[in-house]
Copies of this chain bind each other. A is one copy, B any other.
Amino acid sequence: MSGQVLELARAAKEASHTLAVVTPERRKEALERIAGMLESNAAEILAANAADVELAQGLVERGELSTATLNRLKLTAQKLAEMVGSVRATAELPEVIGKVLDRMELDAGLELEKISVPLGVLAVIFEARPDAVTQIGALAIKSGNAAILKPGKEVEQTATVLVGLIRQALIEAELPAGAVSLVLGREAVGELLGMTESIDLVIPRGSKQLVQYVQANTRIPVLGHAEGICHIYVDDAADAELALAVIADAKTDYPSACNAVETVLVHRGIAGEFLPLLAERMSAEKVALLGSDEAAALVGQGLSPVGEWDTEYGDLTLAVRVVADMGEAIAHIHRYGSGHTESIVTADAGHAERFLREVDAAGVYHNVSTRFADGFRYGFGAEVGVSTSKIHARGPVGLDGLTTYKYLLRGNGQLVGSYHGKDARAFTHVRKMS
C-alpha cells in the first residue's frame, strides 16, 4: 500500500473528527468560501478543463473514449456557474447533524439520547463529470464528513484544480484541508477499497461497469446501484390512455436514466385491446418494441424477440410481455427486476393496493411514471445517489444517507449490577419524545 493514500486516509479521518464537532454555521461558511473561490478562479478551472478535453479528444479519435463521455467532461462558463450555484444551494439545505432522533428515560436520572452524526470518511470514485467533485465535496462538508475523491483519468487536471481550490477555501475557513482530498491513478482505487478501517462509505459515480467493479471488490459499504430494471404492469382494469402516457414518459423522458422503464407487463385480459395501441404509440415515439410471439400476434406485426428479461436497454428500446394475472407480473418483477422502481397502471384501487403491498422494490408506484424516483422530486433537496441495497438507505438517498447515529447516556453513577439479581431495580423506559 502506498504511503500517499494511507496518509490521505489518516488525514481524512482526523479531519472528519473536526468536521463532526464544528458548528453548522462554520460548515456553511466553508461552503460559501468554496463557492467564492470557484468563481474567482474560473479561468484557471476552465484552462485545466480545456487541457483535459484536448487529451480526451485524442482518445475519442482513437476510439478509446465515447463522445458522450467527452461531452460530460467539457466545462463551460455556464456549467461552472451552475456548479457554484449548487454548492451555495447545498449550504442552504436544512442541517442533518446533531438532530435528536429519540430520547428515553431508562430510570430516574438515567437518560438515553439518540442523535444523528456524520458517517466519517467517504471515498468517491467517479468518471468524467467535473461537477461530481464540487457536488459530493459540498454534500460531504454540509453533512460533516470528509471525502477522498478519485477521478477518472480523463478528468484528472480539472479535478486537481477543483480540489486544490476547495482545500484552499477550507484553510481560509480554518477547517482542516484534509477534509477533501484527491487521489490519482488506477492503483489508488484498489487501495481505497481495501481500507475498511478508515473509510466508512464508498460512492461510485459512473458507468454500470464501474459500480459493479466497486461492489465486487470491497467490504466497505457501497452506496449505489449497478442497474435499474424498472417495470410497468398494465392491469386488466387499466385506463389505456393513462397507461400509454405513463409508459411513454417512463421510456422517453430520459432513456439512459436508471429509473426509465425497460419492460411493460400486460394483463392478458386487456392485451388484445392494449397492445396495438402501445405499438402505435411506441412507433410514434420512435421506440423499438421487443416482444414474445404472443405479443406480436396481438400487435398484428412482427416484433424482435427479447434476449434476456433482465436487460437494461438504456435507450429507446422497450420489451413487452403478456402475463396471465397480477401474480405472474409480480413473480416476473421479483425474478428479473433490480429492486429499483416498479409501477402499476390500474383504475381498480384494490388491485393497486395489492401491487403496492406485495412488490418488493425501493419504489412501488400506482398510475405514475417510474421516472419520479429521484431525490429532488421526492423533496430531499439534494440527491446523494440511488440505492438498490436494502441496508442503510434504499431508493433515492438524500443528505441524511451520509449520516449515522450515536447513543448518548447521561447518568449519575448508575451500575448495571443494581438492575439484576436480588432486589433488582426496574428500568422505567419512558419515551421522552413521540
Contact = CB atoms under 8 A, between A and B. Distances in A.
Contact of A352 (B362, B364, B410): B410
B411 A366 contact: yes
A379 B104 contact: yes
A431 B378 CA distance: 11
A201 B218 CA distance: 16
A365 interface: yes
A369 B104 contact: no
Interface residues of A, number: 70
A249 B416 CA distance: 7
A416 B221 contact: no
Copies in the complex: 2
A308 interface: no
B394 A364 contact: no
A391 B201 contact: yes
A216 to B, nearest CB: 7
Contacts of A242: 412-413
A245 B372 contact: no
Contacts of A253: 415-417
A120 interface: yes
Contact of A372 (B106, B358, B360, B377): B106
Interface of A is mostly: mixed
A298 interface: no
Interface in A288-309: none
Contacts of A106: 372, 377-379
A357 B116 CA distance: 11
A371 B357 CA distance: 41
Nearest to A357: B21
B363 A407 contact: yes
Interface in A371-394: 371-373, 377-379, 389-392, 394
A278 interface: no
Contacts of A412: 242, 367-368
A59 interface: no
Contact of A409 (B119, B366, B407): B366
A360 B249 CA distance: 46
Given A391-B221, A409-B363, A427-B377, A358 B17 contact: yes
Interface in A413-434: 413-417, 419, 427, 429, 431
Contact of A378 (B216, B246, B407, B411): B407
B392 A391 contact: yes
Given A219-B215, A221-B391, A413-B242, A406 B366 contact: no
A106 B239 CA distance: 23
A112 interface: yes
Contact of A415 (B366, B369, B379): B369
Given A407-B362, A410-B352, A419 B377 contact: yes
Contacts of A390: 119-120, 200, 404
A312 to B, nearest CB: 16
A407 to B, nearest CB: 5
A48 interface: no
A334 B419 CA distance: 30
Contacts of A391: 119, 200-201, 221, 391-392, 404
A110 interface: yes
A291 B389 CA distance: 46
A110 B250 CA distance: 16
Contacts of A427: 377, 379
A20 interface: yes
27 contacts: A20-B358, A104-B379, A106-B378, A106-B379, A110-B372, A200-B390, A216-B219, A245-B413, A246-B413, A249-B416, A249-B417, A253-B417, A356-B408, A362-B407, A363-B406, A364-B406, A364-B408, A365-B411, A366-B411, A368-B409, A368-B413, A371-B416, A372-B416, A379-B429, A391-B391, A394-B405, A395-B406
Given A373-B407, A391-B404, 6 more contacts: A20-B360, A21-B358, A117-B360, A253-B415, A367-B410, A368-B414
